[in-house]
Structure 1
Amino acid sequence: MRLYTLGKNLFNGIFSSGYKLKVEGLENVPKDDGVLICSNHISYLDPPLVGCSSNRTVHFMAKAELFEMPVLKKILPKVYAFPVRRGMSDKQALRKGLELLRNGEAVGLFPEGTRSKNGEIGSGLAGAGFFAMKTDAKVIPCAIIGPFKLFRSVKIVYGREIDFTELKDRKGSAKEATEKIMSEIRKLYEENKSIR
């Protein structure tokens, strides 16, 4: 059994029993097109949550420092993570993301770039908008509604595809595209945060 599948099954059990996981909007995630799943970021558990709740194999960008740790540098590639150097334009990571999306794969991103310390959704980095503007991948907003406390509900909601037609027609910027993505994540979060 692949390590990814093993991890997915393991975390499905943990989230279902320990956190009363609720998943909504999964029908919005295309099953065979290139798709960029963009979520808010509140916990270290967010990547496995998106990975195990999605109907796709999801490739994640992970901070490059993790790939320097002896155990993780062997495990991360096997669960389809690839490194990105934060705080700079990492051309290699951008090329890898473009390649995956153009080949019809699913890529998971946390546009904020780091976890929110207070649970509020911050501003996003330009990377998510770059992928949205440079590919034909479907961009799906995702809201994670915690907190991650044992035996309390955690909810993940996948929204409808974001339409970038107008932005692409007028050759808008990656920053504008990211702002649009973050706006949709906030909207999804606000619409669902009180429904537990």
Structure 2
Amino acid sequence: MTLYNVAKGMFRLQFKLMGWKIQGVENLPLEGPVILAINHVSMWDPVVAASSLPRPVRFMAKEELFSLPILGKLFRTLGAFPVKRGQGDMNAIRQSLAILKEGQVLGLFPEGKRSKTGTIQKGMPGMVLLMEKSKASIVPIKVNGTKHMFTKGWGKISVVIGKPLTSEMLKAPAGIDNRREWIADRIMQAVLDLQLPKAQ
């Protein structure tokens, strides 16, 4: 058993004790390349999202995290890789495409940084580039309750997994000046629209 699976099992147990809810697991394709588009409010978002899914996830994460003495090595061991934020990081793009070419799951936080208010921000068009180059589908995921998770998150943690979106489904209409930005907006809207059903 890999370290990834051991860590995932431990976190799943902890989150279940905290009243964790998951919906839409069946929407994740069980094979082939997939890009996850996840909202971002807490450092716990990748842990909660990955623990909710049946397939391992390779996360792109900000470069600064990998300079931390112990955590940096742990992130790499768990399959994460760095990206330089605020610039076109070709190494991160190449690594992302290599992961997708191998038929793996790539985890992205398209907002680029955590939302301080919890409101979903604009998505970066780089995810559209990766979708077009790899022919991977994009699965929107909404994570809730992860901010102040261990103090205020009991009974509030949830993950909603949406249906896959393909490049064929996300074609921009004629006359759009920035096609990738338009598509990125549609993807983030799909994330925003995800909701757990209200209790009866």
1:163 deviates by 3.3
Higher helix fraction (1 or 2): 1
1:69-88 superposed Cα distances (whole Å, 9 cap, x missing partner)? 22123211110100000011
User: In the aligned structure 1, how far is the partner of 2:126 from the partner of 2:110?
Assistant: 7
**In 2 relative to 1, CA 193–121 (structure 1 residues): closer, same or farther, beyond 3 Å?**
farther
Distance (whole Å) between structure 1 residues aligned to residue 27 and residue 197 of structure 2: 19
Tell me the residue number matched to 2:167: 164
1:73 paired residue number: 72
Corresponding residue pairs, total: 193
Compute the TM-score of the two structures, normalised by the length of structure 1. Answer: 0.90
Q: SS state of the match for residue 167, structure 1?
A: coil
Equivalent residue runs for 1:14-163 within 5 Å: 14-18=14-18, 20-146=19-145, 148=149, 149-163=152-166
CA distance in 1, matches of 2:8, 2:32: 21
- TM (normalized to structure 2)? 0.88
Identity %: 34
The 4+ residue runs of structure 1 with deviation greater than 4 A are 168-172, 193-196
Q: Once superposed, what is the RMSD of the aligned Cα atoms?
A: 2.2
Q: Deviations over 1:47-104 (max 9, x none)?
A: 0011111111000011111111221232111101000000111000011111111210
CA distance in 2, matches of 1:94, 1:169: 26
SS of residue paired to 2:30: coil
In structure 1, the partner of 2:4 is: 4
Gapped regions of structure 2 (runs ≥ 5): none
| Local SS of the residue matching 2:193 | helix
Structure 1: segments with no counterpart, 5+ residues: none
Q: Does 1:187 align with 2:186?
A: no
